[in-house]
């Protein structure tokens, strides 16, 4: 490089340095008041509402972090939020670091605010007057080095969650204070927030309390820096007549329940929330040491966790109104086996995650055979898989895999059940009774619907139940063989042998056809044909029975069976119930006009076919 070139480069470098130095000095001495109109336009664009500023003045002549005094700041409400001002403050002091302006970053830091009112509004459709970008998934502020507030009123109105609060906010050397009154729906509440003085970036301890007539939420913890809600951890205690009361505050998308009392540890790092040591009661159900992580850093929220309950009563997962609605539906529909549990996933279409659930003891106000439950729930883009899934019973286990698929924007989810029943008894499923025999079974069904009952009522697939040998009252065994004589005169305490119960149902579009339904005992054999409407659980069956020994009084025509699975109704042919019918049975016996007697069924072969 020549001397002339080196000289040219040196002059250019010196020129750039001098220009940069002059620019920095100009920024350090800039009369920022001349930018008042530009500041008004920028704020108006940000909040989509008119903005006026009385004046902007420098508090110092030369500084790289000048203090600006802003007087009479007023930001009107956006047109959809009504009339009046969203922000109206007599005086705001702002520190403006000038060096970041050189790279295009303008970061004013509020230092003080005096005599003001903020009216924050959220509409029923979710719009917020303080945020023009509702697509942003999380808020929270960065820490403040220092902030002094005197006589600031915060008026919060939320139509979406039906809540309201008016707080007086002050912050000085004695600490940060905010307190006032409001309501959650119709419940009056008192609010109080306390914190250390806002000075410096040190960890900032705080406490908050919401106290109502039935709802009580108390938090105690610390933020990484003053008012930095994106980096904080706190202990939480919450109580309410309903989990919905608490959800009005925390907005986690919870549901109605019986009264709740919960404690836990909550932390946040950016868009990731974590709940630990969550314990307490919901009604008489007891939650112990649950853990969950909620990541809202992307378009899809992800929830992973472990949920452990020492005791669970499913009726605790509905409030009194929900229980009343469910009771009315049960009364209208009658006793049912298949539950009306909702499986619609539309409200979870932007949620993924894995949740492990274990219930040590299931309790119920009804005589239910189920005693514990466990499963791993995996939600992936509107497809919920419960695998493994296991329900422990008084005796035996029901388990397998359950899939609820509502991908591709389907109006109703598709339910797929692949379940096996093992190690239980007929008496366990029936809630007692005089029949004692082991029982195993399986169900493979697929159908669509908003509830389990609706989906099963439209399903196709196969269901099977197979018993081992056991005991059955002799009277009942005889009647199953349509042996009226032995059924009437048998000793009420006599016991026969149940050789097997074989049920195979081929299901298509919600109609289950018997293929076969057979009951084989030491006294008789019964075969059932016909269908069950799984949507209504109504029976349309016909039973044909045969004794295994000669009988004088014997029905020879099929017996129709109606009613429901829970309450079957046999209808004995009318001509056999009068004197003439009885005399005819006796005459048929004397004349030898009788169908053949039953022989032992191939229980092992039939069971293998049903379960195969």
pLDDT at site 17: 44
- Please list the residues that pair with 445 across neighbouring strands: 417, 461
Q: pLDDT confidence of 99, banded at 50, 70, 90?
A: very low
Q: What is the DSSP letter of 29?
A: H
Strand partners, 114: 91, 150
Please choose, from the candidates 608, 467, 445, the residue with its C-alpha nearest in 3D space to the C-alpha of residue 532. 445
Give the pLDDT confidence score for residue 170 in this predicted structure: 93
Q: Is the pLDDT of residue 81 over 80?
A: yes
Least reliable range by pLDDT among 54-63, 170-179, 247-256? 54-63
H helices present in 320-473, as ranges = 320-333, 426-430, 452-456
- CA pair distance 317, 285, nearest whole angstrom: 9
How many residues would you count in the chain? 612
Which backbone phi and psi does 124 adopt, to 5 degrees?
-65, -30
Measure the CA dihedral 124/141/274/154, to 10°.
Answer: -50
Rounded distance between C-alpha atoms, residue 522 and residue 516, angstroms: 19
- Among candidate residues 307, 306, 326, the one with its CA nearest the CA of residue 316: 326
Helix ranges (DSSP H) in 30-168 = 36-47
Report the alpha-carbon distance of residue 263 to residue 260 in Å, rounded. 10
Does residue 26 register a pLDDT over 60? no
Phi first, then psi: give them for residue 197, nearest 5 degrees: -55, 145
* Averaged pLDDT score across all residues of the chain: 84
pLDDT category at 334 given cuts 50, 70, 90 is confident
Residues facing residue 260 across a β-bridge? 240, 282
Instruction: Give me the mean pLDDT over the 174-180 stretch.
Output: 93
Q: Tell me how far apart the alpha carbons of residues 522 and 529 are, in angstroms, rounded to a whole number.
A: 21
Of 11-15, 21-25, 369-373, the range with the lowest mean pLDDT is 21-25
pLDDT category, 142, cuts 50, 70, 90? low
- The residue that leads in pLDDT, 128 or 100, is 128
Longest dimension (CA), the chain: 139
Most confident of the following: 246-255, 479-488, 561-570, 586-595? 561-570
Q: pLDDT above 90 covers what percent of the chain?
A: 50
Write down the pTM of the prediction: 0.78
3-state SS, residue 138: coil
Q: Are 547 and 598 in contact (CB under 8 A)?
A: yes
Model pLDDT, residue 296: 86
- Residue 35 — very low, low, confident or very high, per pLDDT cuts 50/70/90? low
The proportion of the chain whose per-residue pLDDT surpasses 70, expressed as a percent, equals 83
* CA-based nearest residue to 480, from 464, 463, 501: 501
Give the pLDDT of residue 278. Answer: 93
Residue 506 pLDDT > 70: yes
Of 248, 174, 240, 236, nearest to 211 by C-alpha is 240
Q: Which DSSP symbol is given to 42?
A: H
Report, as an integer, the average pLDDT of 122-129: 89
Q: Which two tokens stand for residue 181?
A: 């009154």
Report residue 489's pLDDT band, with 50, 70 and 90 as the boundaries: low
Identify the H or E element spanning 75.
strand 67-76
Radius of gyration of the chain (CA): 37
The mean-pLDDT minimum among 14-18, 59-63, 424-428 falls in: 14-18
Q: pLDDT grade, residue 429 (50/70/90)? A: confident
Asked if the model's pLDDT at residue 102 lies above 70, the reply is: no
Contact status, residue 182 vs residue 168, Cβ threshold 8 Å: no
Report whether pLDDT(19) > 90.
no
Per DSSP bridges, beta strands 511-521 and 85-95 are: unpaired
Distance, CA of 100 to CA of 108 (rounded, Å):
10
**Mean pLDDT, range 13-39, rounded to an integer:** 49
Contact in structure between 456 and 537 (CB atoms under 8 Å): no
Strand ranges, E, within 202-350: 204-212, 216-223, 231-240, 260-269, 272-282, 285-295, 301-311
* Burial zone of 164 (CB within 10 Å; 0-12 exposed, 13-18 middle, 19+ buried): middle
Hey, is 169 helix, strand or coil?
A: strand
**Contact (Cβ atoms closer than 8 angstroms) between residue 481 and residue 599:** no
**Residue 594 pLDDT > 70, yes or no?**
no
The whole-number pLDDT of residue 317 equals 85
**Per-residue pLDDT band at 586 (split at 50, 70, 90):** low
- Which of 440-454, 508-522, 589-603 shows the lowest per-residue confidence on average (mean pLDDT)? 589-603
Stretch 543-556: mean pLDDT, rounded?
Answer: 84
Best CA proximity match to 348, nearest among 304, 294, 406: 406
């Amino acid at each position: 490089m020549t001397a002339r070139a080196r000289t040219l480069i040196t002059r250019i470098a010196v020129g750039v340095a001098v220009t940069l130095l002059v620019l920095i000095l100009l920024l350090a001495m800039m009369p920022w008041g001349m930018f008042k109109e530009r500041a008004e336009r920028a704020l108006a664009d940000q909040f989509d509402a008119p903005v006026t500023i009385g004046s902007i003045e420098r508090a110092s002549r030369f500084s790289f972090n000048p203090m600006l005094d802003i007087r009479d700041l007023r930001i009107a409400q956006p047109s959809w939020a009504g009339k009046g001002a969203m922000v109206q403050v007599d005086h705001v002091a702002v520190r403006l670091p000038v060096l970041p302006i050189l790279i295009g970053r303008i970061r004013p830091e509020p230092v003080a605010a005096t005599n003001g009112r903020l009216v924050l509004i959220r509409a029923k459709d979710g719009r917020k007057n303080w945020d023009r970008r509702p697509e942003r998934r999380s808020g929270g502020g960065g820490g403040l080095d220092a902030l002094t507030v005197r006589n600031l009123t915060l008026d919060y109105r939320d139509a979406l969650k039906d809540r309201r609060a008016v707080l007086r906010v002050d912050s000085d050397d004695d600490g940060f204070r905010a307190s006032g009154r409001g309501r959650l729906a119709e419940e009056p509440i008192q609010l109080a927030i306390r914190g250390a003085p806002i000075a410096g970036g040190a960890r900032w301890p705080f406490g908050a309390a919401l106290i109502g007539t039935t709802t009580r939420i108390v938090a105690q913890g610390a933020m990484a820096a003053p008012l930095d809600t994106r980096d904080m951890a706190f202990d939480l205690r919450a109580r309410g007549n309903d989990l919905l009361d608490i959800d009005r505050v925390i907005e986690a998308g919870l549901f109605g329940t019986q009264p709740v009392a919960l404690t836990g540890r909550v932390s946040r790092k950016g868009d990731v929330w974590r709940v630990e040591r969550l314990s307490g009661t919901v009604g008489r159900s007891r939650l112990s040491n649950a853990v969950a992580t909620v990541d809202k850093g992307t378009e899809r929220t992800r929830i992973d966790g472990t949920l452990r309950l020492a005791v669970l009563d499913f009726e605790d997962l509905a409030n009194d109104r929900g229980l009343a609605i469910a009771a009315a539906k049960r009364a209208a529909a009658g006793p049912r086996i298949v539950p009306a549990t909702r499986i619609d996933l539309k409200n979870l279409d932007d949620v993924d995650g894995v949740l492990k659930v274990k219930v040590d003891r299931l309790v119920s106000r009804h005589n239910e055979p189920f005693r514990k439950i466990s499963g791993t729930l995996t939600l992936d883009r509107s497809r919920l898989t419960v695998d493994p899934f296991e329900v422990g019973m008084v005796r035996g286990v029901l388990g397998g895999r359950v899939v609820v698929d509502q991908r591709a924007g389907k109006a109703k989810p598709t339910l797929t059940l692949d379940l096996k029943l093992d190690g239980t008894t007929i008496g366990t499923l029936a809630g007692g009774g005089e029949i004692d025999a082991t029982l195993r079974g399986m169900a493979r069904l697929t159908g669509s619907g908003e509830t389990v009952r609706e989906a099963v009522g439209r399903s196709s697939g196969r269901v099977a139940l197979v018993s081992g040998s056991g005991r059955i009252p002799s009277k009942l065994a005889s009647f199953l063989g349509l042996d009226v004589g032995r059924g009437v005169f048998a000793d009420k305490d006599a016991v026969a042998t149940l050789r097997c119960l074989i049920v195979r149902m081929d299901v298509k579009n919600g109609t289950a056809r018997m293929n076969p339904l057979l009951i084989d005992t030491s006294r008789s054999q019964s075969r059932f044909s016909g269908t069950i409407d799984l949507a209504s659980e109504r029976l349309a069956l016909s039973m044909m029975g045969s004794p295994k020994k000669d009988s004088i009084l014997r029905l020879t025509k099929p017996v129709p069976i109606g009613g429901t699975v829970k309450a079957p109704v046999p209808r004995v042919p009318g001509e056999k119930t009068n004197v003439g019918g009885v005399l005819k049975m006796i005459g048929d016996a004397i004349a030898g006009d009788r169908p053949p007697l039953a022989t032992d069924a191939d229980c092992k072969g039939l069971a293998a076919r049903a379960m195969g």
